[in-house]
Amino acid sequence: MSRFAILRHQRPDGMHWDLLLEAGQALRTWALPALPTEGIELTCQALPDHRLAYLDYEGEISGGRGSVVRWDHGTYRVQRQEAEGLAIEIAGAKLAGHVFLRKLPGQTDQWALRWAAAEGRD
């Protein structure tokens, strides 16, 4: 299984959450405006790949880009992957269930994220 993390990213211009998915030697990354909540679709922004070190990192980020705290972490497995979307099952310390990411039509970096909790967890 591959690893994931969700970081609380406090920036000088505000706060967001980073979803990081291990993909080979890099992390696919999306900035989320809020934590995943069942039944609520979030519009998120795809970011450039991050270094694997961010799976375990907490602290200041160089260049005045704020600081991060790891909110959740665990493993995930891909259920379906296509050019326009991704379905994964996550098993984290706080979140467990299914995450569905789909690229918004006509957008280069805007995606929609939907989360469904595992039975017995929310």
pLDDT tens for residues 54-113?
999 999 999 989 999 999 999 999 999 998 899 999 999 999 999 999 999 998 899 999
What is the Cα–Cα distance from 67 to 14, expressed in whole angstroms?
11
Predicted local confidence at residue 119, as pLDDT: 76
Q: What is the pLDDT of residues 3-21, one digit of tens each?
A: 999 999 999 999 999 999 9
The confidence band for 121, taking pLDDT boundaries of 50, 70 and 90, is: low
pLDDT beyond 70 at 122: no
Reduce the secondary structure of the chain to three states and give it as a string: CEEEEEEEEEECCEEEEEEEEEECCEEEEEEECCCCCCCCCEEEEEEEEECHHHHCCCEECHHHCCEEEEEEEEEEEEEEEECCEEEEEEEECCCEEEEEEEECCCCCCEEEEEEEECCCCC
- What is the mean predicted confidence (pLDDT) over 10-37? 96
pLDDT at residue 118 tops 90 = no
Look at residue 108 in the predicted model and tell me its pLDDT. 87
The one-letter amino acid code at 117 reads A
Average pLDDT of the segment spanning 12-39:
96
